[in-house]
Amino acid sequence: MKCFPSLPLLVLVGILLLPASHLRAPSEAEGNVAGLESHKQTDASESSRLVARHVALQHQLAQQAPAGHYIVVDTARNRLSIIRRQEVLLTALASTGSGTILNDPDRPGTRWIFDTPRGEFTIQSKLTNPIWVKPDWAFLEEGLGIPTDAEHRLEPGVLGDYALGFGKGYFIHGTLYARLLGQNVTHGCIRLNDDDLQRVYQLSKVGTTVMIF
């Protein structure tokens, strides 16, 4: 197990050593002084090399950033932002996943966890006047049986004017419950109010990066 050296101890040792090295320097042979100069030059060139490398690496890292607009979603604070380079173009109040669990009473072992997925995604689809295709859990939540007919799953008018799919059935869409924006209440999708949703729709395109944390 490592013991940590104490800072005051090191400082004190440093202070004690410093005057001694000063006193020794004039009495050194000329060759040694030349060696010291050469050492200093080597140090300087090493530092320059390190600084140049540092700048190059920073540049390389900066190039990994999305080229155009990108969307950032903070699920803890329920905020969605659109950013281009370092400029924030929009910050909107959102609703994200509730984190709750729903068990299927008819199929033991089947359950849904209503989390907004975290990680990096891309906008895969942009829809206008979207129609919600209700999944099984939506019927279970309402205490209804799961329909066998696909037509009974369609529900228009609940997702707002636009929906932007970012994979695995998750969307950024509108809401009928604007009063709940800022809270973790959804089944995993990201809800926005009408104005913000329109702005996000306008500023995004298929392929826009979405970072969710």
Note the residues at the interface with another protein (CB under 8 A). Answer: 1-2, 4, 6-9, 12, 43, 46-47, 50-51, 53-54, 57-58, 60-62, 64-66, 70, 72, 74-77, 98-103, 113-114, 118-121, 140-143, 177, 180, 183-187, 209, 211-213
Please state, in angstroms and rounded to a whole number, the distance separating the CA atoms of residues 70 and 203: 9
Smallest gap from residue 194 Cβ to another protein (A): 19
Smallest gap from residue 149 Cβ to another protein (A): 21
Smallest gap from residue 151 Cβ to another protein (A): 23
DSSP for 80-117 reads EEEEETTEEEEEEE-BEE---EEE-TTSTT-EEE-PPP
Count of residues in the chain: 213
Q: How many CB atoms are located within 10 Å of the residue 205 CB?
A: 13
Smallest gap from residue 79 Cβ to another protein (A): 10
Exposure class string for 175-196: b at 16+ Cβ within 10 A, else e: beeeeebeebbbbbbbbbbeeb
Q: Which is nearer to another protein, 127 or 185 (CB)?
A: 185
Q: Which is nearer to another protein, 120 or 195 (CB)?
A: 120
